[in-house]
Each structure stands twice: as structure tokens, then as C-alpha cells.
A and B are shown apart, each in its own frame.
Chain A
Amino acid sequence: MDELYLDNIDEFVNDHDKIVTYKWLSLTLGVHVNTAKQMLYHYLDHKRKESSAPLHATYLVSGKFVDNGQTSHKVSVVKEDQLEDVKSRMSLVVSVHVYSVQKALLKDSGPLYGVDYDAVKDNLKNCSRYSAIRCASAVPRSSVELQQARPTQPAPAPEPEHKKSTTNGDATPASKPSTKPQKGIMGMFANKSALKNQDSGKEVKSEQKEDAPVVDEPKSKPAAKANPMMNFFSSQAAKKPDKTVKQEEAAPSSSSAEQQRPSSQPEETQAAAAAAAAVEPPKNSKKDSRSKTKRMEDSDSEEEKMDKKKRRRIKKPEPDSSDEDVIPDSPQQMETREASPSPKKKVESVSQSHGNCEMKTRKRRRVLKSRTFVDDEGCIVTEKGYESESYSEAEDDVQAPKHAAKDPLPAKQPASSKQDDKKSQKKASANSNKGTKQASIMGFFQKK
């Protein structure tokens, strides 16, 4: 065995001033833990013979210890000077080896934990590769197996669309009474709400589409959570809406092939509901026929693809953050939250008929924008049209934070803005002003 490791350890200890524990060494050099321990010992020995460089070591001692008639197996990390002392107090010493080597004298064993923690964290997948025990059954399951293992992966995911008979996809019965008052207010803003519905419908549809690929990422967490949680609460709510929502919930977590189906499901719901956009904004031919202006239609169909692409970028971090958020919430909120379809986009609340539409903070609004594109004749065309743009209640910048590090932040926002939503449901009228750039009452909540 070549002696390169001696130089390596030397470098770590002296040049980098690191605390080299056996575990860190084993993970860094990719050797068995026992080999790492021996390497450390050899290095210590070698260095001490060579020069009187100040090197300190901690040892691990384990063995039988008798205390007041009670025998126990004791494992302890000790400083070098206490090694013999501890060994002598044990009635039977099982193992002794070098735990760590460092330049400075450690007063506290806290840093040892820190080093090991970092080492393991960086190598989480390999943490037991170099250990002395192998467990045959501890093989990580593949995502396919995980999907199968999930208790209620509903087959109804690809359920026919016409199953939606309820006016809204919200699972909670409590939301139903609230649709009525909302509808009254909504009548006043029918124009804008219809536009918004279509838009938000689009939003959610593409969202769901994006969601499926997002969900199918290695982190099966969101989907995994969505289903069992959903099923748990849906059983307490009305049956049909449950199925509805269940199906929708199931949809994103199933393979992306199902994308079309789930998105069309919410469409049905919406279609059934007059103008009240349910949690699942609708998006089907019916809705298109109801669009107010031809222009809308055109821009809708053209926008779709662009919006999808646009939204995909923005939407990505959302599912994670929103899903994380569901757990700490109280069951009541979770229930109503689950009622909303997968990535809960907060559709413009005017169109929302449910007081409990616990959607996320991200809102969509229609903004008059100019779009420049090349048409089929090769000419560059600039056209004005309404486009959906996502913006958050809590923050004014449109771009959602993309880094995982920022996830807790958006995760918290949904939680709190849910409360805001509840309040704002009553002030539905305020939310209809997106198109006209009027200062909205939502500004009151925006600072948060």
C-alpha cells in the first residue's frame, strides 16, 4: 500500500488546519473506515517519530464498564492524555482506535461532531459504503417502486372528464355556501372575471402540465405527500368533490402522459360553474366559446404555448415550496388547501367562489403587453394583447425565487397569504382591478 495517504493527511492537518476524523478521511479518500483508522494511527506514529510537531489526537475507547453492579457497554471519545485512565477504569476493553488527528488541542468535542456532520452531509449517498457492515435489504427503492408502494395511487387519475358534476372542484362543503355570495359580487365583474378565468385556467393547466414533470423529479416528496394527505382529508368532505379533487391531485403525480387529462378535468369543473372559477380553472372549448372578445381567443391560443413556456420557468420552485407548507399547517387549512388542485395557484379571487381557496401567493393578472413575433410570412409583427403574468401578493417582483434555499420563504408566504386570501375573499371586488392597473386593496397585504 503506497504511502501517499501520509502526505494527504499531512496536508489536511498542517496546511488546511483541519480536524481529520477517521470518518472524514474514509469518505474523502474513499477507503474502508478501518483502513482510515489505521492510516491515522500510522500518520500519528510517523509524524511523532519524525519531528516533534504539535499534533493532538483523540481516541475512541469502548468496553465493558461496571458501575454500581450495573454493567454497561460504554463508548467514549477521549483525549489522548485521558486514554490510559479511561482504559484502566473499564473492566474489559473491546476496541481502541484513533478517532481524530488535529493540530490544535481540542478542549471540547463539539468540533468533532461538526466535522463528521459535514462529511456525511456531503456524501449522503455513500455514507455507509465504507462502513464495516453491509445490509442486504437496505437498497434504495427506485422511483417506480416508490410509486407502487404508495398506498392510494388512484387508478381514477385518468378518469373521464365528464365525471365532474359539481359546480366547483373544491372538496370542502364549507366552500359551497361561499360560492353563492361570491357569485353575486362576481356578476358585477363578469367581464373581467371571465377573462381572468380563462387566463387563470390557462395558468393552472400549464401549471399542472409543468407540475407533472416537476413532480416526477427525483424528489417524489410533493406527489407522495399530495396523494395520501389528499385522500385522508377528502374522505371527510363530500364524496363527489373528493373524487374530483382526488383525481386532479392524482393527476400531477401520475406520469406526464396523463397531463392532458388532469388539465381537462378542471376545465370541466369550471365549465360547469357559471363564471365562478373553481380551484381548477377551466380550459376547454366551452370556455373558449364563452370568451368575450375574438381578440381574446386569438391571443389565448397563441399565448398558450408561450405562456406555458414562460410559466414553466416561474412555476418550478412553487410545487416544492407549497407542498412543504402543507404539513405544518393545521388540518383545517390543509383540507381546504388540498381542495385546490395541485400547484395551488391563487387565481384571481374575484373569480374564486370559495372562501377557502387556499391557493398560493402567486397570482396571475392580465396585463396589456406588446408582443413581437415573426409571422409565417417572415415579417416581424408587433401586437398588443393581454397576457397573463404572475405576480406575488407579498412581493412585487415577478420572478419567483428559484433557489431551494429560498424555498422556506415562499413556503411561508403561502401559509400566511392563505389567511390573507380568506380575508380577501370578501373583498373580491378589489381583485378585479388587475387589468386596469388601479391601486388595489390587495396592496394592503402586499407589504407582508
Chain B
Amino acid sequence: MFSDMSAGKPGSSLLCRPVSEDQAPVFERVSPAYNLCSERYTVGERSFSRQYAHIYATRLMQMRPLLSERAQQKWGSDVLIRKLCDLQTGEQCCIVGTLFKRMELQPSILKEISEEHNLLPQPARVKFISDTDELILEDELQRIKLEGNIHRDKCVTGSVVAVFGAEKNDGKFTVEDFCLADLPLQTPRPVLTSDRFVLLVSGLGLGSSNADSMLGLQLLVDMVTGQLGGEGEQSGAANISRVLLAGNLLSQNTQDKDAHTKPKFLTKKTQAGSVEAMRLLDELLHQLAASVPVDVMPGQFDPTNYTLPQQPLHRCMFPLASVFPTLTLASNPHQAHIHGVRFLGTSGQNVCDIQKYSSMEDHLEILEETLRLRHLAPTAPDTLGCYPFYQKDPFILEECPHVYFSGNAPEFGSKLITGADGQEVLLVCVPDFSSCQTACLVNLRTLTCEPLAFSAFSAHEEDESEMNVSH
């Protein structure tokens, strides 16, 4: 634990007179072996003239062999794997395809603008599932309704699965069992001799009208840069080899909601809300980058493109911080090797989207589900915006990460899961800093994660313990 490591420095209390000028120690920051794997998620020249059907086609094509193999492992190597067009009634077989969940409550632009329906715009809902949902399995040529032993509410559109069962007379497929692609293979991570930490933070929420979290943020920066704390803590902080900011650096308040509706000549003199916030961010990153390598991922409210994969924030927005070579502007999703440990994660949009369209509530559970599905964002492009890929689907996990995270979760969560082939993955839900004042510290040697909570005092706080608790 970070605390244990930092505490073991007796006799160097700071509650004493300064002794001599040069007694102040300076620790060297550990420099990690860093390898950014960014080619996957960088979209070069973009053309939106393609339809989204291609991404589903390539997704199925890539995952079909994996699922066939899994199906044979699970139900025996002699199980029949059929295409939908070859299905025979009553025959027990296995089919592989993409799930589609037909939801009544799913917002549909066609319904909204259709005059014959006379529908008023739907109020914003938190969840779009209902009891009338139907699951349909699609393969390259046909589709078939599913019923039976499949968790309809937990499934989301876009996941590729293999189901085992038989087609009954009424044209529906009765599912007896199903299986997912499960975790891919993992290269074993190197054994580290000493503790190395990576700090994961998300949801800084700069530029919001509510500035309560600013002191917490300053404390975080001070701690990481080695200004805060006693010598023990500072030497511990020197072992933080990297800081990863996982999205939502700007607050939702910086999004001008009426930027689209208001005519330009009325908004001529008003500055975009994000300008000031970006300046704050630049100063913050300058402080951080001067002391520790930083990876910056964009999030839902950050000034970059909307569709996944979000491209890195542009260097020109950080005139102060970009002079440091320690600043890495990363894409969302982001993949990198730090000290040989493979990190993969997103800023949380994929998890939030699945949460809206399934009955799962816990971000950690959803994270595990995506890992088991072997797909980062199955709901893209259905309900989550994504670029129309056609050659390959970059969200399919090809190699198993060691640390799999998602940002902007409502609370901290971490779990170590193991795979069938001996994979070990640490799942981390990085909490939203602006509300929780908590960051995550991942120990690369032991592959554990620890929350790091910051707090200050305020006038209307009688009972400090409540506020200090890391949620």
C-alpha cells in the first residue's frame, strides 16, 4: 500500500525547526519504460460517406472464428455450427451472430420526426430497457428471434455471441446456452522488483461554476509533484511513474448548450466556456508535466471530436505544457505499455452507454462484461457514436490488457479477474474527481489498486469524517 511504503521514514518530521539549508532532500522520479500503442485508435483521413453496416460486417467476420473455437471448447468439438440460412427446425446446433435488442424506448429519430406517430420528443431517461424488449440474432444474411436461457436485460446490441439451442416450429430460436468470446490471450507481465505506481484520475471538471474540487485538485498535483507531505510521502510519490488523466478534463458546464440554436451574430462577443477552462487545464498540466510524465485522454466534454475513437486533444491548446516532452496527448480509448504492463481503457462513454441500455448498474460489472465480450464498445455504432470503420473494428480486444480501466465512474471500484488461460486483469473504475475527490493509484508490482482521497474543510462541515471518506 502506498501509505505503508511512505510511512517508514522516522526522524524526519516536519514539525520542527529548519536545521540547515541543504538538508532538504530531492528524490528522483522513476522513469518508466513507456510504449504508446496509438496507431489503432488514430483515425487519419476520415470519410463519412460510408454506411455503418460495414463495421458490423467486419466485426462479425473477425469474431466468428474466435467464437466458433469457444463454442467447440464449451459444447464439444462435434457441435454443429450453422449459419442461419442452413438452420433446420428442431436440430440442436450452435449459431454465431451479432445480437440486436429491439427496445421500444430506444430513442429513434425516425419516430420523432414521423408525422403519423405524432410523438412528442421523449424526456431524457436514465434507462431505456423495458419488458417488451426482444433479442434478435443476426448473421451475415438472416436474423432470428431469440428466447430462452439468455439474459435479455444484460445483453446489449452489437455484442457478438454464440448460442446453442434449436429452432422451434414458430420460427424462433430457443436458447439453451450461450457463450461469449471471453478474454484473449495475454502476454505475461514482467516481474518488477520495486513498487511502481501509476496514478489514474478522471473527471477533473475544470471550468465548472462550482469550484469545490479545485483545492482537492491542487492537493493532488502537489502530492504527485512532491511538494506536499513529509519526506516519506515525497519519496513515495517519486515512485509514481506516470499520471493518466482519463477524460472529462473539462466540466459539462463548459459545453454551450445553446451554441447550436443561437444565431452567430448574437453570440459574437461571448467567449466559449471552454476557453478559460482550457487555460486552467494548461496551467495544471504544466505543473504536472514539469515533474511527471502525463497521458491526457479526452472525454465526453472535452474539445475534440464526438465519435469514438476520440482523437487526442490538440497540442496547440497547451502552449505552456506542450514544451515538455513528458506530456503525451492520447486518444480515447487509450492503450499503452508502462513498465511492460499493458494498460487499456476509455473515458467511460462506452460503459455509460451500456448502462443506459441494459439492466446492469455497476460500472465494474459492465467493465467485466465488455472484457468477456472481447469488445470495448459493443453498442457502437448503434447508440454510441463511432466512426464508420470498414476494414477492421479496432474496438475488438486482440490482446488481453493487464490493467483495464474506464473513467468517470460514480465511485471507485477495482477488481482482479482471472481468465481461463491464466490471464490476470485488474479492472479499475476511476471515479469522477470533481464529485468524489478520489484518484486511483495502481501498483504495478502487485497489480493492485488503491484509492487516493483528498479533502479540505469548509464552513458547513461539522463532521469532517463524512466528507473525507473515499466513496
Per-residue CB contact flags for chain B residues 288-321 toward chain A (1 = under 8 Å, else 0) read 0111110000000001000000000011110110
Shortest Cβ-Cβ A-B pairs, 3 listed: A133-B226, A95-B230, A32-B24
Closest to B290 in A: A128
B317 near A62 (CB under 8 angstroms)?
no
CB contacts (< 8 Å) of A35 on chain B: these are 18, 21, 23-24
CB contacts (< 8 Å) of A67 on chain B: these are 469-470
For residue B238, CB closer than 8 A to chain A, the reply is yes
Q: How far is the CB of B239 from chain A (nearest CB, A)?
A: 10
18 sampled A-B residue pairs with Cβ under 8 A: A23-B222, A37-B14, A38-B19, A71-B1, A71-B3, A85-B464, A93-B7, A108-B457, A109-B456, A128-B227, A132-B231, A133-B237, A134-B26, A135-B28, A135-B290, A220-B319, A224-B316, A225-B316
B18 near A39 (CB under 8 angstroms)?
yes
- Given A73-B441, A327-B303, 4 extra CB contacts under 8 A: A35-B23, A92-B3, A96-B14, A120-B283
Q: How far is the CB of A414 from chain B (nearest CB, A)?
A: 10
- Which of these, A37, A38, A77, A137, contacts B31 with CB under 8 Å? A137
For residue B323, CB closer than 8 A to chain A, the reply is yes
For residue B211, CB closer than 8 A to chain A, the reply is yes
Closest to A117 in B: B218
Contacting residues of chain A (207-237) with chain B, CB-CB under 8 angstroms: 219-222, 224-225, 228-229, 235-236
- Which of these, B28, B29, B290, B441, contacts A127 with CB under 8 Å? B290
With A97-B230, A132-B226 in contact, is A76–B454 under 8 Å at CB? yes
CB contacts (< 8 Å) of A60 on chain B: these are 228-229
CB contacts (< 8 Å) of B231 on chain A: these are 34, 95, 132
For chain A, the count of residues having a C-beta within 8 Å of the partner chain is 92
With A39-B18, A138-B290 in contact, is A72–B452 under 8 Å at CB? yes
Q: How far is the CB of B471 from chain A (nearest CB, A)?
A: 9
Contacting residues of chain A (314-344) with chain B, CB-CB under 8 angstroms: 323-324, 327-328
B323 near A140 (CB under 8 angstroms)?
yes
Contacting residues of chain A (368-423) with chain B, CB-CB under 8 angstroms: 408-409, 412-413, 415-416, 419-420
Q: How far is the CB of A261 from chain B (nearest CB, A)?
A: 24
For residue A192, CB closer than 8 A to chain B, the reply is no
Contacting residues of chain B (6-25) with chain A, CB-CB under 8 angstroms: 6-7, 13-21, 23-25
A74 near B455 (CB under 8 angstroms)?
yes
Closest to A5 in B: B18
CB contacts (< 8 Å) of B374 on chain A: these are none
CB contacts (< 8 Å) of A235 on chain B: these are 45
With A38-B16, A94-B3 in contact, is A1–B230 under 8 Å at CB? no
For residue B219, CB closer than 8 A to chain A, the reply is yes
- Which of these, B45, B215, B227, B459, contacts A112 with CB under 8 Å? B215
CB contacts (< 8 Å) of B317 on chain A: these are 327
B275 near A328 (CB under 8 angstroms)?
yes
CB contacts (< 8 Å) of B233 on chain A: these are 62, 94-95
CB contacts (< 8 Å) of A438 on chain B: these are none
Interface size range of chain B in the complex: 35 or more
Closest to B292 in A: A135
A-B contact count (CB 8 A): 291
CB contacts (< 8 Å) of B267 on chain A: these are 416
- Which of these, B215, B232, B450, contacts A71 with CB under 8 Å? B450
For residue B286, CB closer than 8 A to chain A, the reply is yes
Tell me the A residues contacting B by CB distance below 8 Å: 1, 22-23, 26, 31-35, 37-39, 41-42, 45, 58, 60, 62-65, 67, 70-79, 82, 85-86, 89, 92-98, 107-110, 112-113, 116-117, 120-121, 124, 127-128, 130-141, 146, 219-222, 224-225, 228-229, 235-236, 323-324, 327-328, 408-409, 412-413, 415-416, 419-420, 448
Interface centre among A33, A113, A132, A146 (most CB of B within 10 A): A132
Q: How far is the CB of B366 from chain A (nearest CB, A)?
A: 20
CB contacts (< 8 Å) of A324 on chain B: these are 275
CB contacts (< 8 Å) of B272 on chain A: these are 328
B268 near A92 (CB under 8 angstroms)?
no
Contacting residues of chain B (430-471) with chain A, CB-CB under 8 angstroms: 438, 441, 450-459, 464-465, 468-470
Q: How far is the CB of A395 from chain B (nearest CB, A)?
A: 12
Cα-based distance from A225 to B219 in the complex (angstroms): 32
CB contacts (< 8 Å) of A62 on chain B: these are 3, 223, 228-229, 233
A224 near B315 (CB under 8 angstroms)?
yes
Interface centre among A32, A35, A76, A220 (most CB of B within 10 A): A76
For residue B142, CB closer than 8 A to chain A, the reply is no
A141 near B323 (CB under 8 angstroms)?
yes
- Which of these, A76, A79, A107, A412, contacts B455 with CB under 8 Å? A76
For residue B117, CB closer than 8 A to chain A, the reply is no
B323 near A146 (CB under 8 angstroms)?
yes
Q: How far is the CB of A217 from chain B (nearest CB, A)?
A: 11
CB contacts (< 8 Å) of B19 on chain A: these are 1, 38
B468 near A76 (CB under 8 angstroms)?
yes
Cα-based distance from A98 to B268 in the complex (angstroms): 48
With A98-B14, A219-B319 in contact, is A109–B458 under 8 Å at CB? yes
- Which of these, A93, A109, A136, contacts B215 with CB under 8 Å? A109
For residue B4, CB closer than 8 A to chain A, the reply is yes
Interface centre among B323, B455, B457 (most CB of A within 10 A): B457
Cα-based distance from A31 to B270 in the complex (angstroms): 42
CB contacts (< 8 Å) of B283 on chain A: these are 120-121, 124
A136 near B456 (CB under 8 angstroms)?
no
Cα-based distance from A133 to B243 in the complex (angstroms): 15
CB contacts (< 8 Å) of B232 on chain A: these are 94-95
Q: How far is the CB of B216 from chain A (nearest CB, A)?
A: 9
